[in-house]
Amino acid sequence: MEPLYTATVTAAGGRNGQIKSTNGVLELEVRYPKALGGANDDFTNPEQLFAAGFSACFDNALNKVIHEEKIKARNTSVTAAVSIGKTDAKRYGLTVILTANIPGVTKEVATSLMEKAHQVCAYSNATRGNVNIQLSATTNDY
C-alpha cells in the first residue's frame, strides 16, 4: 500500500494518560471509563476515539457509494457503538455496531448501501476478520 496520509499520535500513561498528535490539534487526557474501574466518565477513552474514527470513515465511504450509484439520499449519519470485552480465549477484543441513517431511500436500499460501504471503508477493511461488526440501517428524517 502506498500511504496517502499518515496520522501520528503519541500516548503516554496508557488508559490513564495523555494522547497528543504531532500537529498538536488532538491533545486529550484519557482515563478508564467507570465501567472498567475508572472513577467516572468525565474523560474520553480509546473506545470512544475508535468509535469516532470508525463512524467518520464509514459515513464518508457511505457517501462515496451513494454518489457513485447516483442515489438521491439526504444527509447521512453513522453511529459506531464500540464495546470492549474478553474473548473466549481470555484476551481483550472489540465489537462494533454501525448504525447508518440514510433518509430518502427505502430500508432495502439503505441496507445495500451499508454493505457496499463496508467494502470501501478503511476501518472496515482493517478490522475485517478480527472484529465482530454488525450493520444496521435506518431511514429516518429528523
pTM, two decimal places: 0.94
Q: What percent of the chain has pLDDT over 90?
A: 95
pLDDT of residue 124: 98
Which of the following CATH numbers is that of domain 1-44: 1.10.287.3610, 2.20.25.10, 3.30.2130.10, 2.40.128.720? 2.20.25.10
Helix (H) or strand (E) segment spanning residue 21: strand 17-21
Q: What distance in Å separates the CA atoms of residue 23 and residue 112, rounded to the nearest whole number? A: 38
pLDDT of residue 83: 98
Diameter of the chain by CA atoms?
Answer: 49
pLDDT at position 111 over 80 = yes
Confidence tier at 67 by pLDDT (50, 70, 90): very high
pLDDT at position 142 over 90 = no
Give me the helices (H) in 1-142, please.
46-68, 107-120, 122-127
CATH class of 46-138: alpha beta
pLDDT at position 36 over 80 = yes
Radius of gyration of the chain (CA): 17
- Domain map (residue ranges) of the chain: 1-44, 46-138
pLDDT of residue 73: 94
pLDDT at position 141 over 90 = no
